[in-house]
Amino acid sequence: PAAPAMMGNVAVWKPSKTAVYSAGVIMEIFKEAGLPDGVINLVYASGPVAADTVLTHPDFAGIHFTGSTAVFQSIWKTIGENIYKYKSYPRIVGETGGKDFIFADPTAKKRELAIAMLRGAFEYQGQKCSAASRCYVPASIWPEVKEIFGAELATVKMGPVEDFTNFVNAVIDESSFDKLKGFIDRAKEDEDAEVIFGGNCDKSVGYFVEPTVILAKKPDYITMKEELFGPVLTVYVYEDEDMDATLDLVDTTSIYALTGAVWSQSRYNIEKIAKRLENCAGNFYINDKPTGAVVGQQPFGGARGSGTDDKAGSIFNMLRWTAIRTIKENFVPPVDYTYPNFQPDNE
């Protein structure tokens, strides 16, 4: 809510039910910093209750939404159905889902790629819309990448957040745990997939999902397509000579276009892949993990099923929350309605 408020608007902030505590802390910081009462109004309500009030109100002027693609589409539909009620046409900004990719070519540095896969997929338990979720690795380098990745993953500690040496903590709630466990259990049974690392889940003392890597035996396996939002990475190994066809798969497999990364030591391939995948990721990384955008340094956002690509953390997003007024002042108003061409020709 800070961006609209900074541009002079009053904002109503409704956090996710799983983020009420952090939202409360942020609100306390805002107030301590001098934010006046009534500028940002933090309300704790269920999504449907808030939507029924906000999206039908004549003064509704815009929404800055972060969440699932399905919910955002529902909000947009509701706005359209209520458009005749509003005093102005609402600004609609959304940052929604992602099925973020890492694509490596045969020249990629193997250890660097393995570390990017581990960090990109498992930091914050993969609970980032930018988290690496699908990875395409050529067959010629996969055995060594797999070995390095497995050795590093074996050193990863999982446990509560109070211990700062734990790299992986619990996922956010039980519904997330159950969803992730369902996909992992399915991959263990499916002929088209194999769990090659991790796969254990335990909610006896917290919703802990072990960092898991699924090897997809076909490129359109379900975990290559659907956003999971957890510590699950799916790898598809392609034949080196099929690189161009695999780039087509990166483009068409998912409805999302949030973040993506290319790993290569060939400048020709980097330029080629970046051009081929220009519509696949609003934030595109070269020889880096597809996460870590910082406000003010790297504006963030994607298109397709990932949102409106208004680039949070940039001037472009800020300008979405302004009403532009043009003013003209005339110091020499005309005293005759006619123009020169109305006068008779003088020969």
Catalytic residues: 95, 129
Q: Are 47 and 76 in contact (CB under 8 A)?
A: no
Tell me the Ramachandran region of residue 286: left when phi exceeds 0, alpha when psi lies from -120 to 50, beta otherwise.
Answer: beta
CA torsion 69-254-267-269 (nearest 10°) is -170
Give dist(CA 93, CA 309) in Å, integer.
Answer: 8
Note whether 61 and 82 are within 8 A (CB): no
End-to-end CA distance of the chain: 68
Q: Secondary structure of 55-85 in the HEC alphabet?
A: CCCCCCCEEEEECCHHHHHHHHHHHHHCHHH
Q: Report d(CA 117, CA 115) in Å as an integer.
A: 5
**What 8-state DSSP symbol labels residue 88?**
S
C-beta separation of 313 from 298 below 8 A: yes
CB 276 within 8 A of CB 251: yes
Reference 16, options 223, 169, 170, 176; nearest CA is 176
Contact 264, 105 (CB under 8 A): yes
* CA dihedral sign, ordered 209, 212, 214, 219: positive
Phi and psi angles of residue 101, each rounded to the nearest 5 degrees, phi first: -120, 155
Q: Which residue has the tokens 């309500």?
A: 45
Rounded distance, CA 110 to CA 124, Å?
A: 23
